[in-house]
Chain A
Amino acid sequence: AQTVTQSQPEMSVQEAETVTLSCTYDTSESNYYLFWYKQPPSRQMILVIRQEAYKQQNATENRFSVNFQKAAKSFSLKISDSQLGDTAMYFCAFMKWGNNDMRFGAGTRLTVKP
């Protein structure tokens, strides 16, 4: 079974600075998807960014980017120019290609300080 590990239960960053959240996963699959979801206090799960494992280029969405290291099974999220609205729980998730069983890490609680 695939497992997803987020080793940082909590992190904080000053507004306007950059922060990186870590995620590692364990799989024997070669084709899969990786995701970062944001969960603000409203509890809504919001897709931040996704990566297809067969693509070597790291995904980027505005201030959010990933560092995907397939060999190391690592998928970190970098948030640039942090904003107060980025304060949330962040979940890393994995899904095998052709499968609809998305597996989540335990989450990292990020606090952006003014």
Chain B
Amino acid sequence: NAGVTQTPKFRVLKTGQSMTLLCAQDMNHEYMYWYRQDPGMGLRLIHYSVGEGTTAKGEVPDGYNVSRLKKQNFLLGLESAAPSQTSVYFCASSYPGQGGYGYTFGSGTRLTVV
């Protein structure tokens, strides 16, 4: 019963480097989300997907790209990392129309950009 798995759990990047965060879920959830968590700001939605092959912008999408080529995977990419992207990133998933029951979250990725 893995639920939502995020890899890696920790990463340090240099400014300008690129990387991809992987989110995988085994619950057959249609909807998936990427959030970032910063001190004093709670969690903010970056991008989300309502199904395979679809993506949409959330509250803070700038500097990030996403892809949902397979239903179970949702990738978050940083093309040119900046120190402002230092954060903890969370992936979450839910069934369509059942977000009211809450999301299932991964355990997060702590990213530091130096």
8 Å CB contacts to A: which residues of B83-101? 88, 90, 92, 94, 96-97, 99-101
Categorize the interface residue count of chain A.
20 to 34
8 Å CB contacts to A: which residues of B64-114? 88, 90, 92, 94, 96-97, 99-103, 105, 107-108
Q: Is A91 interfacial (CB 8 A cutoff)?
A: yes
Partner of A50, one of B48, B94, B100, B105: B100
* Total B residues in contact with A, Cβ cutoff 8 Å: 27
CB-CB < 8 A to A44: which residues of B?
105, 107-108
Nearest A residue to B58, CB-CB: A101
Partner of A43, one of B58, B92, B107: B107
Which residues of B approach A to under 8 Å, CB–CB? 31, 33, 35, 40-45, 48, 50, 58-59, 88, 90, 92, 94, 96-97, 99-103, 105, 107-108
